[in-house]
């Protein structure tokens, strides 16, 4: 099970959290709900960390997360917070750039490959196994490169040959060998079926974008958050570090050098997001959620999201597309990608481009991260009232962070250790 590192002492009714990004806010919220007094120190002048919705003259721009994926914990949270979710439009096409054009990824050739290999035995699930290694005998090299890598790249910004299998599929638990791919697929389907039916599925945003969720949490914690906090770090009883791993490592450098050392091993991927407002629709992305772009197609982006199609009520005015790239996109590079998609777009059609660059956008879920987190869990067993959380600990998405924070707040001592 994915869990927060370390523990707190429930007899001490005060917790000190470092970092008011989503992990710090959500953990602060659930701990406060359990009756703890909470203090959250944030070094910048705002809460939300990577999540921020800018209001530009042309429309809303999400600098980081643009949607919240649902599970039962998320639905319960939204009810508690009295937030009205706006569901993403259903039945949109999910496209993949194939031979230079956005196309339906479910090509016959992919299906026939899967069908012919589904009874093959997958590789042994070891600590060192990558997602690419696992699926290679099923899909073949070309499909791993053209289908699997861009799909996972869109979610984790990391190619399949680096993604750590056990981290991405924690459902496999301790199982080391599947008889066939079919038995792996059956296990995943069974797990999905066993989950209670949700009253709403998919992903959501809010009127005013993801900032509305952050603002609501910040409002509840308004007396507890200290912005622009530059004081020296102290290890008080029940300290929880909710920064990125780099800053967590810096905070613990002198007081807990071993923990600091493990934290410093975790790598991050830099990324930029550019939201383009345009007076006309990009034809090849009509009625599409967006397109994932494998390398070698001549594009600067790894994926493009069609914001107006996904959340029309938040994007009433004009076309809005977010270009996600592993490099720092310039406006010219965004335009190059637009022209590749739709060669008759003219300069005057472009209303505005808003780019955000993240030097440390997302942690790389590779073997190094897995081993560092495993070691951190072991080292933290010697601590009675110190915990570590963030998107490198229990999953990258907000949904996973909500579940981990809720479980920890309710039972900070006795939920299962990570394996």
Q: Rounded to an integer, what distance in angstroms lies between the CA atom of residue 33 and that of residue 28?
A: 8
Among 306, 397, 403, 407, binds ligand FAD (CB under 6 A): 397
In eight-state DSSP terms, residue 130 is B
Among 168, 388, 398, 405, binds ligand FAD (CB under 6 A): 398
- Over the window 53 to 92, marking each residue x when it contacts ligand FAD by CB under 6 A and - when it does not, the resulting string is -----------xxxxxx-----------------------
CA atoms within 13 A on the CB side of 311: 26
Q: How many residues does the chain have?
A: 419
Residues 338-377, interacting with ligand FAD (CB under 6 A): 358, 361-362
Residues 133-172, interacting with ligand FAD (CB under 6 A): none
CA proximity to 249, closest of 263, 232, 267, 269? 263
- Over the window 263 to 292, marking each residue x when it contacts ligand FAD by CB under 6 A and - when it does not, the resulting string is --------x-x-------------------
What would the two tokens of residue 225 be?
């958050």
How many residues touch ligand FAD (CB under 6 A)? 37
CA atoms within 13 A on the CB side of 209: 19
- Over the window 172 to 211, marking each residue x when it contacts ligand FAD by CB under 6 A and - when it does not, the resulting string is ----------------------------------------
Q: Of the two residues 350 and 404, which places its CB atom closer to ligand FAD in the complex?
A: 404
What would the two tokens of residue 233 be?
């770090």
End-to-end CA distance of the chain: 7
Among 22, 30, 135, 365, binds ligand FAD (CB under 6 A): 22
CB 359 within 8 A of CB 323: no
CB 167 within 8 A of CB 370: yes
Q: Of the two residues 251 and 288, which places its CB atom closer to ligand FAD in the complex?
A: 251
- Over the window 312 to 331, marking each residue x when it contacts ligand FAD by CB under 6 A and - when it does not, the resulting string is --------------------
**Which residues does 215 contact at the CB level (< 8 Å), separation at least 6?**
208
CB 347 within 8 A of CB 54: no
Residues 205-264, interacting with ligand FAD (CB under 6 A): 229, 242-244, 247, 251
Residue carrying the six token digits 């939300």 = 48
Taking phi over 0 as left and psi of -120 to 50 as alpha, with beta for the rest, 54 belongs to: beta
Only one of the segments 108-116, 260-268, 342-350, 397-405 lies at the binding site for ligand FAD (rule: CB under 6 A); that segment is: 397-405
Write out the residues near ligand FAD by the rule CB under 6 A.
Answer: 18-24, 41-44, 49-51, 64-69, 229, 242-244, 247, 251, 271, 273, 358, 361-362, 390-391, 396-399
């Amino acid at each position: 099970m994915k869990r927060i590192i370390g523990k707190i002492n429930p007899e001490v009714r005060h917790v000190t959290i470092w970092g008011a990004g989503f992990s710090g806010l959500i953990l602060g919220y659930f701990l406060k709900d359990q009756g703890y007094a909470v203090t959250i120190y944030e070094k910048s002048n705002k809460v939300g960390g990577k999540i921020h919705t800018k209001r530009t003259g042309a429309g809303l721009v999400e600098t980081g997360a643009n949607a919240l994926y649902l599970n039962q914990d998320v639905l319960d949270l939204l009810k508690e917070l009295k937030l009205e979710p706006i569901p993403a439009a259903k039945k949109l096409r999910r496209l993949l750039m194939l031979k230079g054009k956005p196309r339906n990824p479910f090509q016959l050739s992919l299906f026939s490959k899967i069908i012919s290999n589904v009874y093959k035995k997958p590789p042994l699930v070891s600590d060192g196994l990558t997602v690419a290694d696992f699926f290679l005998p099923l899909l073949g090299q070309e499909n791993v490169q053209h289908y699997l890598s861009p799909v996972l790249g869109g979610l984790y910004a990391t190619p399949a040959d680096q993604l750590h299998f056990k981290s991405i599929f924690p459902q496999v638990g301790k199982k080391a060998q599947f008889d066939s791919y079919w038995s792996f697929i059956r296990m995943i389907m069974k797990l999905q079926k066993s989950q209670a039916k949700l009253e709403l599925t998919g992903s959501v945003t809010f009127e005013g974008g993801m900032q509305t969720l952050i603002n609501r949490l910040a409002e509840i914690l308004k007396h507890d958050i200290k912005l622009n906090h530059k004081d020296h770090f102290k290890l008080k009883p029940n300290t929880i570090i909710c920064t990125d791993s780099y800053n967590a490592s810096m905070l613990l450098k002198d007081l807990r050098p071993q923990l600091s050392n493990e934290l410093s091993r975790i790598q991050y991927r830099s990324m930029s997001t550019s939201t383009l407002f345009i007076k006309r629709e990009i034809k090849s992305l009509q009625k599409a959620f967006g397109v994932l772009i494998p390398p070698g197609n001549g594009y600067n982006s790894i994926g493009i999201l069609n914001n107006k199609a996904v959340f029309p009520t938040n994007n009433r005015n004009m076309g809005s597309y977010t270009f996600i790239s592993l490099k720092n996109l310039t406006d010219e590079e965004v335009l190059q990608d637009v022209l590749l998609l739709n060669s008759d777009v003219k300069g005057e059609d472009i209303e505005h481009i808003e780019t955000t660059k993240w030097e440390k956008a997302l942690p790389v879920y590779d073997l190094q991260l897995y081993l560092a987190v495993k070691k951190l869990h072991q080292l933290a067993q010697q601590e009675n009232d110190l915990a570590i959380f963030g998107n490198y600990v229990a999953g990258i998405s907000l949904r996973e962070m909500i579940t981990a924070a809720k479980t920890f707040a309710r039972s900070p001592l006795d939920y299962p250790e990570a394996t």
